[in-house]
Amino acid sequence: MHVLVVEDHADTRAVLSALLNRCGCRIVTAKNITEARRRLEEMSFDVLLSDLALPDGDGIDLVRAAKQIQPLKAIALTGRASEQERSAGLAAGFDCYLTKPIDFQALRESLGIPAGERATARQRSSALPKTARPEAP
């Protein structure tokens, strides 16, 4: 499974990357929306895992743009815990809305990775640059 992690805090980005890597995911990171959009245009991803409060904009704007660039599952990981913000995130295109502090088991479940398992080989094989992936018929 190829995951784009968008998080402006370096420590959180590193922890998420390490934990997801241990689950067998291939991780690419971005610290802001500008970097994330560039990565989305260069590579194919299965999942976008994004904070909402980013230095150059809102993760809600990012998820809308990401889903126009490529089909992927989108998971919000944020400190914004109100029901109104959750509803807005889901309406904008996030498939899951998780709040901080990170509940890693809930994150694994959102990714479809059962406890104690790694991402499947099929999920990992999707981590090819867009130019190297065969086009669907």
pLDDT tens digit sequence for 29-70: 999 999 999 999 999 999 999 999 999 999 999 999 999 999
Residue 117: what pLDDT?
65
What is the DSSP-derived secondary structure letter of residue 23? Answer: T
Q: What angle do CA 94, 52, 100 make, to 5 degrees?
A: 95
The string of DSSP letters for 25-87 reads: -EEEEESSHHHHHHHHHHB--SEEEE-SEETTEEHHHHHHHHHHHS--EEEEEES---HHHHH
Closest of 94, 88, 87 to residue 65, by C-alpha: 94
> How far is CA 87 from each of CA 77, 84, 110, rounded to the nearest angstrom?
14, 5, 17
pLDDT over 70, % of the chain: 85
| Model pTM score | 0.84
> The domain 2-127: what is its CATH number?
3.40.50.2300
Are 26 and 124 within 8 A, CB to CB? yes
19 pLDDT band (50/70/90 cuts)?
Answer: very high
**Tens of pLDDT, residues 109-133:** 999 998 776 665 444 334 334 444 4
Break the chain into its structural domains and give their ranges.
2-127
